[in-house]
Every structure is written in structure tokens, then in C-alpha cells.
Amino acid sequence: MALTVSQYNLIMRQYEERQTRNRHLREKRLRHIYDTVNGYQALDEAVASCCVAQGKKLLAGDGTAMDRLRQKLSRLADERTDLLLKNGYPENFLQPVYDCPDCQDTGYIRGQKCHCFRQAEISLLYEQSNLKQVLDRENFDTLSYDWLEGETLARYQQTVEKCKKFCTNFKTLYQNLFFYGTVGTGKTFLSNCIARECLDMGCSVIYFSAAGLFELLSRNTYRFRDPEEMSSLYSDLFHCDLLIIDDLGTEISTALTLSHFFTCVNERLLRKKSMIISTNLSLEDCRNRYQDRIFSRIASSFEFCKLTGPDIRMYQKVPNALKK
């Protein structure tokens, strides 16, 4: 789905805000160093003076001026680094600050959209603006085993290890995961953990509830007047690095949307683009609910992870009441 002009401008304003914020952070650090590290400001001023002096010589025809300038600047840079280290600061403390070092917060790399711009597009187009807030709460660092024990705990720990390996090998090994089991056993949480890791690696992630995905497919089915938007929608679904479909089985499906769903799954499998699907349905229920060609494709291409046990969300909500 293509961005409108206003959506594009919104993303670019976000980049401008990042640049301004990070520029102010770097300036604040520089003022701090000037105030606390004796001699650092003088070295900075010497760099400016050296550039001016050697520039004049270069304009006057001195062919060696550029080489001498490089040597002096290298020496001054070493002296500044030594000062920082001797005063307990990392050598990159005054380097420019970027949210995305790859594009340096411009959104583009050699004229092409950076992965961070692409993810900003995805988040905006598919109304995932709250995804970052969710992933700040639900990630491997906040994962807890407090409510689990026995065989349930062992199975969950094994699944967590599979998820971590999925992330570690994401860029080099094609893989798909299918989480199934009872309500509240951590399926969505683990999907979010993986999404967070993949986003941190610069990969594009599209997250949909099954209800949201099927509603989108249904809504766009009859948009004959806007084939470009339909093409863009399917391009996003087919080509993003990771597609997460949560709560499969909660959607309202028709023969037509099931056909589109099969196309989406099949095309991603052909392109070797990873997917994660979660459901509260049993495998037998999934087989009965979906067309054989859909379930057979999933069964042959996904690693199944069964999660059972107590409803963790209920334990977290009223832990004392449930312990009685």
C-alpha cells in the first residue's frame, strides 16, 4: 500500500526530529567535555586553525599542503582521543549520534529507502504505531518463568530456546514457527520477543492479528479501481522479512479470503520469507477449519511448538486469588 504525501511527510518529520534530538545530545556532550576535560577545547580550536592555515597554502599553490594537513589532523585526532580515554570517557563519546547508523537518520542509503524507513512505512500503513511500546514490555529481557513448573516449565523453556535460535539464525537460515496450545500460555509474548530481536537487527516485520489480516484482505478484494494499492499490499505481505499472524482461528473467513490467505502463505514459502503463526486451536481443529492445501503447506514448512499450562495473564492479573 503506497504512502500518501501526508504519510510520507509525517515519516520525514520523524527523521528531522531524530536528527535535531541527536544533534542536541552531541552538543550537550561536547559542552560537558569542554567544561571538564582540560585542553580538549584548545585541541578542537587547533583543528580549525590548522584547516584554515593549510587551506591558504593550498590555494597559494603549495602542493604538499594537503598531505601535511592530513598528518596534523591525524595527530590532533589521536591527542583528543587520548584525552577522552585518560578522563574516563569512551573514544567515540563525541561521535555523531544516530538512531540508525546505517542511514545516519536520513531514511535513505545511496538513494534507496533504508530498512528503518521501510519499517516506519509498515508501522504506519498497518497501524502498528503502538508496536514499539508493546515490544518494550514484551521481549526476552522481560520474560519470566514465575508461573510455570514441572513439564509445562520444561516445554516452555525448550520453546524459548527455539525462539532464541530462530533470532540468532534469522539472517542466514530460513525457518517458520507455528505456536499452538491453550489460551494465555505465552504464544503472543514469544512472537513479540522474536519481533523485537528482528527489528533490532534491522529487519522488516509485519504483525497482524488473524482477524485484522483477514479483514484487510476482505476490504481490498474488490478495490478494482486501485490495482496499484492492491499490488503494493501484496508486495508488503510477500516480501517483508518476517510476517507474524497472531490468533489464527479468531478471524471471520470466507472462501475468497481463505484463497487470499493461501496465496499469502504459499508465496512467502516460495520466496523463503519467514513466518510465525500462533493459534489457540488444536492441530486437529486447524486441519478441520482450513482447506487441506493450506494446512498441508503449514504442516510441511513450519516447526510446531505446543504450549500448554495455566493462563499466565490471569495469574499476573490476580495472582493471590488464583493461588488459593
- Domain total in the chain: 2
Partner residues linked to 279 by β-bridges: 180, 248
Phi/psi for 246 (5° steps) reads: -105, 145
Residues 82 and 167 in one domain: no
Same-domain pairing of 188 and 256: yes
Q: Between vectors from CA 177 to CA 158 and to CA 310, what angle results, nearest 5°? A: 50
Greater pLDDT, 1 or 264? 264
Q: Is residue 62 part of a domain?
A: yes
115-125 vs 5-36: helix crossing angle, rounded to 10: 130
Residue among 190, 187, 174 at smallest CA distance from 242 = 174
User: What sign does the CA torsion over 223, 225, 228, 231 have?
Assistant: positive
In a domain, residue 103? The reply is: no
**70 is a domain residue:** yes
Q: Cell 488459593 appears where?
A: 324
**Confidence (pLDDT) at 221:** 65
DSSP string, 129-185: TTHHHHHHHSSGGG---TT--HHHHHHHHHHHHHHHHHHHTTTTS---EEEEESTTS
201 & 256 share domain: yes
pLDDT higher than threshold 90 for residue 7:
no
| Tens of pLDDT, residues 263-272 | 999 999 999 9
Regarding whether 252 and 134 lie in a shared domain, the answer is yes
Domain identity same for 142 and 241: yes
Query: Grid coordinates representing 175?
Result: 525457518
Identify the domain boundary among 86, 118, 147: 86
Residues 163 and 31 in one domain: no
55: containing domain? 5-86
Most confident of 59-63, 145-149, 155-159, 228-232: 155-159
Cell of residue 207, nine digits: 504483525
Q: Confirm whether 251 is domain-assigned.
A: yes
- In total, the chain counts a number of residues equal to 324
Type of residue numbered 239: H
Residue finishing a domain among 32, 60, 86: 86
d(CA 218, CA 185): 30
Same-domain pairing of 71 and 131 = no
Distance (Å) of CA 282 to CA 159, 182, 187, 257, 301: 17, 8, 13, 21, 18
Position 252 scores a pLDDT of: 87
- CA–CA separation, 267 vs 273, rounded Å? 9
Q: What is the CA radius of gyration of the chain?
A: 27
Q: How far apart are CA 140 and CA 204, in angstroms?
A: 19
Q: Does residue 258 belong to any structural domain of this protein?
A: yes
Residues 81 and 168 in one domain: no
> CA dihedral defined by 24, 29, 34, 38, rounded to 10 degrees?
-170
Specify the pLDDT at position 225: 47
Residues 161 and 303 both lie in one domain: yes
Residue 273 DSSP label: -
- Indicate if 212 and 317 belong to the same structural domain: yes
Domain closes at, from 58, 86, 114: 86
Residue 120 within any structural domain of the chain: no
Take residue 282 and report the three cell numbers written for it.
Answer: 488444536
Same domain, 72 and 138: no
Dihedral through CA 236, CA 238, CA 243, CA 247, nearest 10? Answer: 100
- Give the Cβ contact number of residue 208 at 10 Å: 20
The enclosing domain of 287 has a CATH number of: 3.40.50.300
Please tell me whether residues 137 and 74 are part of one structural domain. Answer: no
pLDDT band at 31 (very low <50, low <70, confident <90, very high): very high
Say if CB 209 and CB 277 are below 8 A apart: no
Has residue 318 been placed in a domain? yes
> Is 22 inside any structural domain?
yes
Q: pLDDT tens-digit profile of 65-123?
A: 788 888 888 999 999 999 999 999 999 999 999 999 999 999 999 999 999 998 888 88
- The strand pairing partners of 274, in sequence order, are 242
pLDDT given for residue 61 in this prediction = 82
Torsion of CA 161, 167, 173, 175, to 10 degrees: 70
